[in-house]
A and B are shown apart, each in its own frame.
Chain A
Amino acid sequence: MTTQMFGAPIRRKEDPRLVTGGGRYLDDLGHDALAAAFVRSPHAHARIVDIDASDAIDVEGVVGIYVHEDLPGRVGEPLPLLIPHPTLTHGRTGYALARDEVNHVGEPVAMVVATDRYVAEDACQRIRVTYEQLPVVVGIESARDGERLVHDDVPGNVAAHMLQEVGDVDAALATAPHTLALELDIERSACMPMEGKGVYARWDRERGELRMYSSTQTSTGVRAAVAAKLDLPLAKVECIAPDVGGGFGVKIMHPWPEEVLVPWAARLLDQPVKWAEDRREHFIGSAHERGQLQQVTVGFDDEGRVLGLDVKFWHDNGAYTPYGIIVPIITSTQLLGPYKPGAYRCEFWSLYTNTVLVTPYRGAGRPQGCFAMERTMDAIADALGLDRAEVRSRNFILPSEMPYDHGLLFQDGRPLRYDSGDFPASLAKLKQLVGWDDFADYRRSAEAEGRKVGLGIGCYVEGTGVGPYEGGHIQVETSGRVNVSTGLTSQGQGHETVFAQIVAEELGVRLEDVHVTTGDTRKMPYAVGTFASRAAVMSGSAIAIATRKVREKALRIAADALEVSPDDLEIVEGTVRVKGAPATSMSLGTVSVLSNPLRYAFDEAARAATQFAGTFDPDKPPVAEGEEPGLEGKGFYSPTQATFANGMHAAIVETDPVTAEIKILRYCVIHDCGTMINPMIVEGQVHGGVAQGVGGALYERMAYDESGQLLNASFMDFLMPYASEVPTVEADHLETPSPLNPLGIKGAGEAGCIPVSAVIASAIEDAEGFPIARMPISPNDLWELRRRHAAGEVPSLHRQANTARSSSSSSSSSSSSTSPKEPTS
């Protein structure tokens, strides 16, 4: 029997190579290349008065120094606005090198190319830029009041204003038995991949060809953008994503200034040029995300069912909008999670500030939306004195209501229509896993020891696998080796493994015979990129479709050769054989030989395919009508809409009664991404996502001061959680297949991080007894909140009174014989 490949927790094929130093990342390439370094703006908002490079040009080893006026034609024009939107009425993008004005600290002003990076930085230090400082806009309040402007021609700093409404929200709120209003605040964070960005370009003058490598999430996107900027035919540009040390969204943005300038310089100088981003550059020269202020008004009935939901939020998009308004659109739509909101209105303003630009970071607007919705659910439960899980359950979309159309447009411009999901089942599993119903007892026993503990919950739905399409190409060599290519890129997700699993399963070959290439425009020029938890859904499905074509062709050729019907054949471990009579068989390699009629026999196997081998029908052409030589196939997958994964998390936290230090005692996840290709990889994705979520909830923020300086632009002060800060993640799965794709799969890449801030806020609120409305939260923040609460400036939860009632009644009725579920760490 063939081993089950699809759905098996197979260890990652790429790991032995990557963990033994065999990876080839951007900076491992091009040791002979010249190095680029950048002079970046030290001011958040300023006019460039003068750039004096006279002291720098003499530095030994400097090859060239470039400023905006040196950039010819389209290289000197604004960078593209990648995703236009009708409501993005004031979209603005920067230049590859700033022209006249800088709008954030870190914006590139001049590029130095030198023999090595040391020399390039020495020269950068000697370039004197004279700036005239302009008023600075930092923070959403400052952007919103519009007194100072980031761009003179953008009134109110409003890049986009968008409103979607389903039903009559005003009427629903006016007639609802209860209403509540919440003011919420989420701060900035960033992707922080282990490897920063990087570009390496080589120009072949004789052939007029550019080959570039970029640490990117979209090599096809970079290729097209660079070809356009450099005015080169697409056929003369190759872009390869080598091993990429993490992306998390920041590398789907393109073209970065450096992706345009480095190839341009390589062509200009006719020498290879490389730039590898350092960490400080990454902090101030890449992208951030998350920052939003939110206002929620909700109307609900006595049972806690939402009747009307009115959300307004202000989104900080940084200095420019090259990636459009994808992030706030996702917030505004994915906010709804697994719930039926009754009437729903969401209005947002996307605002410019003099800070690093904002583009999607794992979760991409969903963590903020989830925070708004889940804080609202907790508030409803508290107002009515109901169990928080129960309130959620009463608002769930039920499996019988699937597919469920919210009547809104999602980020892909297509209907926000959930394809499948079983939210009640997920919640039941979560409550079981975390011991929801035993928590009251656990809290009592903790309180008896002088400890403060709290239980939190958060639910989300994640639209994954957005289009437009991806492709897969499968080729079986005469050796039986199977080459698989897909155009989207890999940043550590395990694509070499999961795509191989799909092919091994679909084709009937051994996993070790399948070799996957991603992100190489030479192998697969048609692709979109790796983002939005789409790789498994999109490329996985495309590869499955392509593999099925190859299988069909293999069976057709083998049936002909074996003189049986294709229906009687099966493929097992790389051998095509007759079902029930396995001795009648031929290897896929042989089928590959037969698929490609040859004139020349280069080896033994090839002899069978040559013209005098004597096996061909003289009346038919060597390649049959409608066939192509070679055992290969190509397939594309282009869905009508996204597929919607979901998950529910719960956490138990402990807060120090004096110091307000916060510790996560348990973290539980129920995750549903449809059919799983590889549960181990899914779990790894969830763990990594939770780790990033913990960062966003308790540690990470971008500390901009009023002048727009980022005060914590290093890993010493930007607090990414270490392994010591991330709790053990207890995860379990539900598999509700998607009806939308051939494999029934949904995306899993972003899932883990989405609800974490909501969950931790919920748990801290539960421990403390007053609302948590702003994340991340530090011990200092919590300590401050306690003082304000004690001073009457922060209200108590209503449940304080309710708890007092219920605990006094329960203490008389039961003797708490159930043993509290102990935290496992």
Chain B
Amino acid sequence: MKPAPFEHHAPLSVEEAVAVLNEVGHDGKVLAGGQSLIPILNMRLASPAHLVDINRVAGLDAVEVTPGAVRVGALVRHAGLERSEEAYAALPLLRQALVNVAHPAIRNRGTTVGSIAHADAAGEMPAILALTEGVVEAAGPSGPREIPWRDFFLGALETSLEAEELAVAVRFRRFATGTGTAFVEAARRHGDYAMAGVGVAVTVTDGVVSGARASFVSVTDVPSVLDLGPALVGVEPGGDAWAAAVDAAAEAVHEHVDPEGDIHATAEYRRMLVTELTRRVLPRAVHESEHSTGESPTPSSSAQFPTHESEHSTDSGVQS
């Protein structure tokens, strides 16, 4: 279990990193936390000729909270984001999900952006990027570009990031006031890849659900978001229609997901599991909505996000 020979590059800036990536093309791999890459190299499942180690690149290690989003640099470790009180206050979903990412030792080293760029649908953070309608910020030879999550994830372990591009940050969008979130997953052992997981965001306005969405771990081939609005919007949490609405939402999840079986659980079991987890997670999200601290002053009637304009205006005010 020793990797094949490779050339190690240690750029100090994003520009330098991009230049190296541009030079080595598909023979290169970006090394950040290494929690997925290094085992793959050691087992010789991949043998890139060049490793572009970005750990010395300046300016990638910040967590920035803006009125519209939580921006996470490419060198922010899961543990750093998990422990950020500011990020938690702005977007509790991040910590709710991050505590499920493997084990503390792995979270100390592994990066959130790295796990998103790895694009494993069994990973928690790609699902969270999706649920928050997040964006990947990439740097390439022709300058920066922003890739909305829907355009980012192409398939299992496959993204729209070009070989010469570096993901420098992701932005998780914050939810509207009145939105509660919750995340739950079931794994064989604590910290394992989940057999199934589900994150939900439920917006409650004037005592009734005004918006609800879910995204999933390990039961879809790429991260996906399901609008639970048809089942839940207009329903009063805990009211007479609530139980049936939750069942309807769970049923919608049952229809939406497309799990694959493996040695740990069959597709059928996973489908049952994510359906049940949906039932269990929705009340938690509703509970959270009661003390939500979203930032948007005027949430739109049926969505959970501030308007695009407001996100852009706040973001542009902070990023430089």
Check if A778 sits within 8 Å of B2, measured CB to CB.
no
Chain B interface size, as a band, is 20 to 34
Known interface pairs A659-B276, A779-B188; 10 further A-B residue pairs with C-beta atoms within 8 A, sorted by A's residue number: A121-B4, A122-B4, A658-B272, A714-B43, A716-B39, A719-B264, A722-B190, A778-B264, A780-B269, A783-B269
Tell me how far the C-beta of A33 lies from the nearest C-beta in chain B, rounded to whole angstroms.
16
Residue A703, interface by CB 8 Å:
yes
Residue from the set A658, A699, A721, A724 with the largest chain B CB neighbour count within 10 Å: A658
- Bound-complex Cα distance A725 to B191 (A): 11
Chain A residues 259 to 284 lying within 8 A of chain B, measured CB to CB, are 278-280
User: Which residues on B sit within 8 Å (CB–CB) of A122?
Assistant: 4-5
Check if B264 sits within 8 Å of A117, measured CB to CB.
no
Check if B188 sits within 8 Å of A722, measured CB to CB.
no
Residue B26, interface by CB 8 Å:
no
Residue B265, interface by CB 8 Å:
yes
- Bound-complex Cα distance A122 to B3 (A): 8
Check if B188 sits within 8 Å of A699, measured CB to CB.
yes
Check if A118 sits within 8 Å of B5, measured CB to CB.
yes
User: Which residues on A sit within 8 Å (CB–CB) of B44?
Assistant: 121, 125
User: Which residues on B sit within 8 Å (CB–CB) of A393?
Assistant: none
Residue B186, interface by CB 8 Å:
yes
Task: Say whether, besides A699-B188, A721-B189, A659 and B5 are in contact (CB < 8 Å).
Answer: no
Which residue in chain B gives the minimum CB-CB distance to A118? B2
Tell me how far the C-beta of A692 lies from the nearest C-beta in chain B, rounded to whole angstroms.
15
Task: Say whether, besides A703-B263, A778-B264, A722 and B189 are in contact (CB < 8 Å).
Answer: yes
Check if B1 sits within 8 Å of A279, measured CB to CB.
yes
User: Which residues on A sit within 8 Å (CB–CB) of B43?
Assistant: 280, 714
Chain B residues 70 to 114 lying within 8 A of chain A, measured CB to CB, are none
Which residue in chain A gives the minimum CB-CB distance to B192? A719
* Interface contact tally, CB-CB below 8 A: 64
Tell me how far the C-beta of A379 lies from the nearest C-beta in chain B, rounded to whole angstroms.
28
Produce 1/0 per residue, B1-21, CB < 8 A to A. Answer: 111110000000000000000
Which residue in chain A gives the minimum CB-CB distance to B1? A278
Residue A661, interface by CB 8 Å:
yes
Residue A712, interface by CB 8 Å:
yes
- Bound-complex Cα distance A118 to B1 (A): 8
A-B contact pairs, 7 of them (CB 8 A): A118-B3, A122-B4, A125-B44, A659-B186, A659-B273, A779-B188, A779-B265
User: Which residues on A sit within 8 Å (CB–CB) of B188?
Assistant: 699, 719, 778-779
Which residue in chain B gives the minimum CB-CB distance to A705? B263
Check if B189 sits within 8 Å of A719, measured CB to CB.
yes
- Bound-complex Cα distance A548 to B124 (A): 64
Check if B266 sits within 8 Å of A780, measured CB to CB.
yes
Q: Is the interface of A mostly helix, strand, loop or mixed?
A: loop
Check if A724 sits within 8 Å of B186, measured CB to CB.
no
User: Which residues on A sit within 8 Å (CB–CB) of B186?
Assistant: 659, 661, 779
User: Which residues on B sit within 8 Å (CB–CB) of A780?
Assistant: 195, 264-266, 269
Produce 1/0 per residue, B168-198, CB < 8 A to A. Answer: 0000000000000000001011111101000
Q: Say which residue of B189, B193, B195 sits within 8 Å of A725 (CB atoms).
A: B189
Chain B residues 200 to 230 lying within 8 A of chain A, measured CB to CB, are none
Tell me how far the C-beta of B304 lies from the nearest C-beta in chain A, rounded to whole angstroms.
28
Produce 1/0 per residue, A681-725, CB < 8 A to B. Answer: 000000000000000000100010000000110101101011011
Task: Say whether, besides A125-B44, A658-B276, A659-B276, A725 and B190 are in contact (CB < 8 Å).
Answer: yes
Chain A residues 767 to 805 lying within 8 A of chain B, measured CB to CB, are 778-780, 783-784
Chain A residues 646 to 663 lying within 8 A of chain B, measured CB to CB, are 658-659, 661
User: Which residues on B sit within 8 Å (CB–CB) of A778?
Assistant: 188, 264-265
Tell me how far the C-beta of A115 lies from the nearest C-beta in chain B, rounded to whole angstroms.
13
Produce 1/0 per residue, A533-558, CB < 8 A to B. Answer: 00000000000000000000000000
- Bound-complex Cα distance A762 to B195 (A): 26
Which residue in chain B gives the minimum CB-CB distance to A280? B1
- Bound-complex Cα distance A121 to B5 (A): 10
Check if B5 sits within 8 Å of A722, measured CB to CB.
no
User: Which residues on B sit within 8 Å (CB–CB) of A783?
Assistant: 269, 272
User: Which residues on A sit within 8 Å (CB–CB) of B264?
Assistant: 717, 719, 778, 780
Task: Say whether, besides A722-B191, A783-B269, A125 and B4 are in contact (CB < 8 Å).
Answer: yes
Check if B189 sits within 8 Å of A717, measured CB to CB.
no
Q: Is the interface of B mostly helix, strand, loop or mixed?
A: loop
User: Which residues on A sit within 8 Å (CB–CB) of B39?
Assistant: 716
- Bound-complex Cα distance A713 to B196 (A): 22
- Bound-complex Cα distance A70 to B265 (A): 46
- Bound-complex Cα distance A659 to B272 (A): 8
Task: Say whether, besides A118-B5, A703-B263, A780-B265, A724 and B272 are in contact (CB < 8 Å).
Answer: no
- Bound-complex Cα distance A787 to B213 (A): 31
- Bound-complex Cα distance A784 to B44 (A): 37
User: Which residues on B sit within 8 Å (CB–CB) of A711?
Assistant: 263
Q: Say which residue of B3, B4, B263, B265 sits within 8 Å of A717 (CB atoms).
A: B263
Q: Say which residue of A118, A279, A661, A724 sits within 8 Å of B190 (CB atoms).
A: A724
- Bound-complex Cα distance A721 to B39 (A): 21
- Bound-complex Cα distance A658 to B196 (A): 14
Tell me how far the C-beta of B120 lies from the nearest C-beta in chain A, rounded to whole angstroms.
12
The 9 closest A-B pairs by CB, nearest first: A724-B190, A278-B1, A780-B269, A703-B263, A118-B2, A780-B265, A121-B2, A658-B276, A719-B188
- Bound-complex Cα distance A725 to B188 (A): 9
- Bound-complex Cα distance A699 to B188 (A): 8
- Bound-complex Cα distance A805 to B3 (A): 65
- Bound-complex Cα distance A711 to B190 (A): 21
Chain B residues 224 to 279 lying within 8 A of chain A, measured CB to CB, are 263-266, 269, 272-273, 276
Chain A residues 120 to 137 lying within 8 A of chain B, measured CB to CB, are 121-122, 125
Tell me how far the C-beta of A767 lies from the nearest C-beta in chain B, rounded to whole angstroms.
18
User: Which residues on B sit within 8 Å (CB–CB) of A125?
Assistant: 4, 44
Check if A712 sits within 8 Å of B263, measured CB to CB.
yes
Tell me how far the C-beta of B69 lies from the nearest C-beta in chain A, rounded to whole angstroms.
33
Tell me how far the C-beta of B81 lies from the nearest C-beta in chain A, rounded to whole angstroms.
22
- Bound-complex Cα distance A440 to B252 (A): 40
Chain B residues 259 to 314 lying within 8 A of chain A, measured CB to CB, are 263-266, 269, 272-273, 276
- Bound-complex Cα distance A321 to B193 (A): 37
- Bound-complex Cα distance A118 to B6 (A): 11
- Bound-complex Cα distance A31 to B196 (A): 45
Which residue in chain A gives the minimum CB-CB distance to B47? A125
User: Which residues on A sit within 8 Å (CB–CB) of B276?
Assistant: 658-659
User: Which residues on A sit within 8 Å (CB–CB) of B273?
Assistant: 659
- Bound-complex Cα distance A738 to B177 (A): 72
Which residue in chain A gives the minimum CB-CB distance to B273? A659
- Bound-complex Cα distance A658 to B278 (A): 13
- Bound-complex Cα distance A699 to B187 (A): 12
Check if B189 sits within 8 Å of A699, measured CB to CB.
yes
Tell me how far the C-beta of A748 lies from the nearest C-beta in chain B, rounded to whole angstroms.
27
Produce 1/0 per residue, A101-131, CB < 8 A to B. Answer: 0000000000000000110011001000000
Task: Say whether, besides A125-B44, A699-B188, A117 and B2 are in contact (CB < 8 Å).
Answer: yes
User: Which residues on A sit within 8 Å (CB–CB) of B195?
Assistant: 779-780
Tell me how far the C-beta of B280 lies from the nearest C-beta in chain A, rounded to whole angstroms.
9
Produce 1/0 per residue, B136-162, CB < 8 A to A. Answer: 000000000000000000000000000
Which residue in chain B gives the minimum CB-CB distance to A279? B1
User: Which residues on A sit within 8 Å (CB–CB) of B272?
Assistant: 658-659, 783
- Bound-complex Cα distance A719 to B190 (A): 11
Tell me how far the C-beta of B220 lies from the nearest C-beta in chain A, rounded to whole angstroms.
19
Which residue in chain A gives the minimum CB-CB distance to B3? A118
Which residue in chain A gives the minimum CB-CB distance to B275? A658
Tell me how far the C-beta of A468 lies from the nearest C-beta in chain B, rounded to whole angstroms.
39
Which residue in chain A gives the minimum CB-CB distance to B4? A122
- Bound-complex Cα distance A703 to B188 (A): 15
Which residue in chain A gives the minimum CB-CB distance to B196? A659
Which residue in chain A gives the minimum CB-CB distance to B265? A780
Which residue in chain B gives the minimum CB-CB distance to A724? B190
Tell me how far the C-beta of A586 lies from the nearest C-beta in chain B, rounded to whole angstroms.
56
User: Which residues on B sit within 8 Å (CB–CB) of A699?
Assistant: 188-189
- Bound-complex Cα distance A118 to B192 (A): 29
Tell me how far the C-beta of A475 lies from the nearest C-beta in chain B, rounded to whole angstroms.
43
User: Which residues on B sit within 8 Å (CB–CB) of A659?
Assistant: 186, 272-273, 276
